[in-house]
Chains A and B, each alone.
Chain A
């Protein structure tokens, strides 16, 4: 499920018989590249302490509540 798709297989128009123009293909590839760059920029930041701290606090709270 976490497998990244790094080719153009995300393109739902790829299976149509009509061949896409070179410019269209270039644009699709560029859009895919830009979106992955945007996504990866955030992914590469890992987990900020704000969230790991929050989960730890909430876990402690629920453990106390269920004890």
Chain B
């Protein structure tokens, strides 16, 4: 693909890349560092790519970079964010899932990608993704239910607040 066409494709994919990176790192500024490193890698070797698989390719580059390099350098990436907003609280609960379950759930439920595309990005079988999504959803339900039953809670689905800030 010509460089300007590739650049345009990459630009369009930056918002979903950031959203995916934020779900992996649990932190938007770290997500942006990860996206920047992904873009540099992508631009360095992307000229042979077809336009139709740019999104899956970029997600795959970002994911591989996160697991192979980025995560080793930043041991604390899985720490839950502390914050008052609903999204931050949900993200703190989400961070308790194993990374591979979390990413499967986010890619399927958040990005709206088909299972086949998520499987391609994660380099595994479609059945594995379905299984991970199921396990992620069941575990999240447990976490959210147990917190919402806390006697200190009057706010179901707000697990951090429900736990009285003990996270």
Interface residues of A (CB under 8 A from B): 1-6, 10-13, 24, 27-28, 30-32, 34-43, 45-48, 50-52, 54-55, 58-59, 62-63
Q: How many A-B residue pairs have CB under 8 A?
A: 116
Contact indicator A55/B39 (Cβ below 8 Å): yes
CB B151 to nearest CB in A, in angstroms, measures 19
Min CB distance B7 to A, Å, is 5
Cβ of A31 to closest chain B Cβ, rounded Å? 5
- Identify the interface centre among A10, A31, A55: most chain B CB within 10 Å of its CB: A10
- Secondary structure call for the A interface: helix
Question: When the two chains form their complex, are residues B110 and A35 in contact, meaning their CB atoms are under 8 A apart?
Answer: yes
For residue B105, CB closer than 8 A to chain A, the reply is: yes
A58 to B141, CA, bound (A): 44
Q: How far is the CB of A3 from chain B (nearest CB, A)?
A: 6
B 115-127 binary contact with A (CB < 8 Å = 1; else 0): 1010000000000
Question: Which partner residue on chain B sits nearest A66 by CB separation?
Answer: B3
Asked whether B14 lies within 8 Å of A32 as measured between CB atoms, the reply is no
Is B36 a contact partner of A62 (Cβ separation < 8 A)?
A: no
Is A48 a contact partner of B32 (Cβ separation < 8 A)?
yes
Give the contacting residue for A39; candidates B11, B14, B106, B137; CB below 8 A: B106
